[in-house]
Amino acid sequence: MLTALDKPSETLDGPETAFVAAVREHGWFRTQVLADGEAPGFSFSTGFWLSVNQPEILIFGMRSDVAHDVLWDLFRRAGQGETLPVGRHTDQVFANVPACLFPIDRRRYAEYLGWSRWFYCGDDFPCLQLVWPDPSGLFPWEQGFDAAFDTDQIDLTEFGWNAELRQ
């Protein structure tokens, strides 16, 4: 697999050099995109696919430090051979609430995964969206989900969260 790690260092600018150095040192890098008033902020990983053969992860609406800790934990666990269930509720992500992971539609990569696309020289890598519940434990697709959180997560799946759920 061709990645930015294979690019000659003299072709990289300052941010690209720092990005590559972080992936070399830690195995992955977290990119944070701030909320812009129209869309929630989010964080995503780059390097999981290359380093631990697990999909990259994107998380909306989570504090930067919390998102970083969650991604580090998932990276370490993937390095130990753990895989996360896709399309089902799981207690493997957070200590006190369930989570769900869904494949991100590759047509959304250009809008949300710029650094990962640069690193992997295209869209040939998997990425999962980590979806978290409201304080009552309800997910955005469930009846009774707290409307105060409606705009904190955007559905990036191909067919919608409900269609992607597996029983």
The CA angle 48-126-149, to the nearest 5 degrees, is 90
* pLDDT band at residue 167 under the 50/70/90 scheme: low
Sorted by sequence, the CB contacts under 8 Å of residue 70 that are 6+ apart come out as: 59, 62, 93, 94, 130
Domain residues of the chain, as ranges? 4-164
pLDDT in tens, 145-164: 999 999 999 999 999 999 99
Buried b (16+ CB within 10 A) or exposed e, 131-161: bbbbeeeebbeeeebeeebeebbbbbbeeeb
Interior angle at CA 82, CA 27 and CA 73, nearest 5? 50
pLDDT at site 166: 82
56-88 residue pLDDT tens: 999 999 999 999 999 999 999 999 999 999 999
The token pair at 45 is 């990983």
pTM of the model: 0.96
Name residue, tokens 């980590």.
Answer: 130
Please choose, from the candidates 121, 100, 126, 124, the residue with its C-alpha nearest in 3D space to the C-alpha of residue 44: 126
